[in-house]
């Protein structure tokens, strides 16, 4: 899969999210069906084209939500660089020690003080189905000129790239 700039969709997606440390994970509340979002630390491993991984506690409310409805959204935002990504996928709880070792970094000790020996530690695996991104010039002057041009000419502001990516064939 290539985007209109000749890069693979996976490469573009990886590049867009790689420096965004916190994502917002949205689940369907198991009690009333409302949408709930919470911040999650993005794994440090590069996106492989299939899965996003997040450390969590296995009995947390988000996991209870996912056990009722696996459909989730993960949102990434870097307003300073004008990068925004919305991901649709299906979540699954994973307790495999070897997989956790692969994604572990000492920074996670802030949330899991005993490291991988923290009781109830697990991973939330999000199988990525689709994504949409908005990637505009990060130079504020370029953005301002484009915005002003649209106001003066009456034409719609074209603020950069907006593409949809389908990761499932």
Q: What pTM was computed for the model?
A: 0.81
CA atoms within 13 A on the CB side of 138: 9
Q: Which residue has the higher pLDDT, 142 or 49?
A: 49
pLDDT of 129 higher than 70: yes
Give the pLDDT score at 146: 44
Give per-residue pLDDT as tens, 74-102. Answer: 999 998 888 999 999 999 999 999 999 99
Whole-number average pLDDT of the chain = 84
- Beta bridge partner(s), residue 53: 125
Share above pLDDT 90 across residues of the chain, in percent, rounded to a whole number:
57
Q: What's the DSSP call for residue 81? A: G
Give per-residue pLDDT as tens, 14-46. Answer: 888 988 999 999 999 988 999 999 999 988 777
Using alpha carbons, select from 61, 169, 72, 53 the residue that is nearest to residue 122. 53
Judge whether 133 and 163 are in contact, CB under 8 Å.
Answer: yes
Ranges of H-type helices in 37-77: 61-68
Give the pLDDT score at 52: 95
Helix (H) or strand (E) holding 134: strand 121-135
Using alpha carbons, select from 49, 27, 13 the residue that is nearest to residue 124. 27
């Amino acid at each position: 899969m290539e985007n209109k700039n000749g890069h693979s969709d996976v490469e573009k997606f990886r590049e867009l999210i790689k420096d965004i440390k916190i994502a917002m994970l949205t689940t369907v509340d198991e009690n009333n069906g409302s949408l709930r979002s919470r911040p999650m630390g993005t794994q440090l491993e590069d996106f492989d084209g299939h899965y996003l991984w997040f450390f969590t506690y296995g009995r947390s409310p988000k996991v209870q939500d996912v056990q009722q409805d696996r459909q989730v959204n993960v949102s990434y935002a870097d307003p300073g660089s004008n990068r925004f990504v919305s991901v649709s996928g299906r979540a699954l709880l994973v307790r495999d020690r070897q997989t956790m070792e692969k994604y572990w970094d000492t920074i996670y000790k802030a949330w899991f003080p005993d490291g991988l020996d923290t009781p109830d530690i697990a991973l939330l695996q999000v199988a990525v189905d689709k994504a949409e991104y908005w990637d505009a010039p990060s130079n504020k002057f370029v953005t301002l000129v484009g915005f002003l041009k649209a106001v003066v000419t009456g034409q719609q502001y074209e603020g950069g790239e907006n593409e949809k990516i389908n990761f499932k064939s």
